Amino acid sequence: MIPRPQRGSFRPTNVAVILWLLGIASMGRIAAGQASQAPPPPAFEVASVKANKSGPDSAQRAGLQPGERVTMTNVTLRTLIQIAYPGMSEIVGGPGWVGSGPAGDRFDVNAKADAPASREQLQSMLRTLLADRFKLAIHTESRDEPVFALVFARSDHRLGRNLRPAATDCAALRAAAAGSAEPCGIRTFATALMTGRMSVRGLGLDQIVGVLSRDAGRKVVDKTGLTGAFDCELTWTPQAFLQRPFDRERFPSIDADGPSIFTAVQEQLGLKLEAARGAVDVLVIDHVERPTEN
C-alpha cells in the first residue's frame, strides 16, 4: 500500500512550481533594476559656459571638429542649437535672448570630453550640455514650406574660386597649425546681424548651408551631391543692409553696394539658390532658461 502524504507536506510537483514562480519574480526584479540603471546620456567631462559681453559686432567662432575639446566664442544659443541638432536650421519659439538679433545673448563655451570623440559624439554631448545648463526642452515638427535648393550654377559643375576641397585633412592641419586663428574644422564669421563674411576650413556643405539659410530667409537644402570637406570664403551684403540706410560708423565693414547672398553664392562659389518646396523639420523650443554662472 502506498502511504498517503501527511497533512502540510509538499509534493515534489508543488516544490517545482514554487521554485519556478520564485525564479520569475527574481528575473522581474533584475530586469527592473537593469531598466532603472540605464546609461546616462553622453556628456563632456568638464564644461564651461560664460556670458560674452563683447557685443554683436565682435567675431564669432563656432563649429565642432573631431577630438577632445570644443571651443566656441561669442555664439548665441540659437547657433549652439543649430550645431547640436544638424539639419534644424529653422528654430521657432523661445524668448528673444535666444536669437541672433541685437537682443540676443552670446556665450563662450569651452568643454572637454574624456576621450577623443567624433563630431556626431560631440553633438550628442552638446545636446546634453544644453539640456543641463540651459534647461532646454524641445520637440520637432515636419512642415511643407518654401525652401531654397543649393545646386550647381554651371552645367559642367565647375566650382567657383572661393569653394574648393579642403587643403588637407583636419587632423594634419590642426597638428601643423596649433594656435591658428582658423583651425581646420571650424567656421568663423563676424556677426553684425550678420556682417556678411564667412570663412570655412575643412567642413562639409551641411554646415555651410546653415549660414546661408539665415540670410536667405528659408532653409537651404543641399542638392549638389558634393561630399567631403571644403574650404570656403564668402562675402556678401546681408539682406538687412540692402537698399536701406544704416549707420556706416557702426558697421564700417558693410558694403552697401555689395552683392546679395544669392549673387555671392553664384559668383564666388559656383553654386546657386533655386526656389523650391520641401518638407522642413522645424525645431520648436518648449522651455529654456539662461544658464547659471560657472
Residues 6+ apart with CB under 8 A from 53: 106
Q: Mean pLDDT across the chain, nearest whole number?
A: 80
Q: What is the DSSP string of 127-143?
A: HHHHHHHS--EEEEEEE
Strands (E), the chain: 46-51, 59-62, 67-75, 91-92, 107-117, 137-152, 163-165, 186-190, 197-203, 220-222, 230-235, 271-287
| Residue appearing with cell numbers 539639419 | 87
Higher pLDDT, 54 or 293: 54
Q: Is 8 left (phi over 0), alpha (psi -120 to 50) or beta?
A: left
Q: How many CB atoms lie within 10 A of CB 253?
A: 11
Query: Which stretch, 56-60, 123-127, 212-216, has highest mean pLDDT?
Result: 123-127
Lowest mean pLDDT among 17-26, 96-105, 277-286: 17-26
Across 72-76, 88-92, 124-128, 134-138, least confident range? 88-92
pLDDT at 32: 54
- The pLDDT confidence band at residue 129, using thresholds 50, 70 and 90, is very high
pLDDT band at 114, cuts 50/70/90? very high
pLDDT of residue 208: 81
CA 284 and chain centroid, separation: 15
Instruction: Compute how many other C-beta atoms are within 10 angstroms of the C-beta atom of residue 24.
Output: 10
- 39-53 mean pLDDT: 92
CA 1 to chain centre: 83
Residue bearing the bigger pLDDT, 263 or 217:
263
Domain ranges of the chain: 46-287
| N residues, the chain | 294
Lowest mean per-residue pLDDT among 71-80, 104-113, 115-124, 180-189: 180-189
Helices 77-84 and 119-133: crossing angle in degrees, nearest 10, is 140
Of 63 and 121, the structure prediction assigns the larger pLDDT to: 121
Task: Tally Cβ neighbours within 10 Å of residue 272.
Answer: 17
User: Between these two residues, 250 and 239, which has the higher pLDDT value?
Assistant: 239
Q: Are the C-beta atoms of residues 286 and 137 closer than 8 Å to each other?
A: yes
Burial class (CB in 10 A: 0-12, 13-18, 19+), 267: middle
What is the percent of the chain with per-residue pLDDT over 70, rounded to a whole number?
A: 73
The mean pLDDT value for 49-68 works out to: 82
What's residue 60's pLDDT?
Answer: 78
**Burial per residue of 91-104, b for 16 or more beta-carbon CB atoms within 10 angstroms, e otherwise:** beebeeebbbeeeb
Residue 26 has phi, psi (to 5 degrees) of: -65, -45
> Rounded mean pLDDT of 286-293?
90
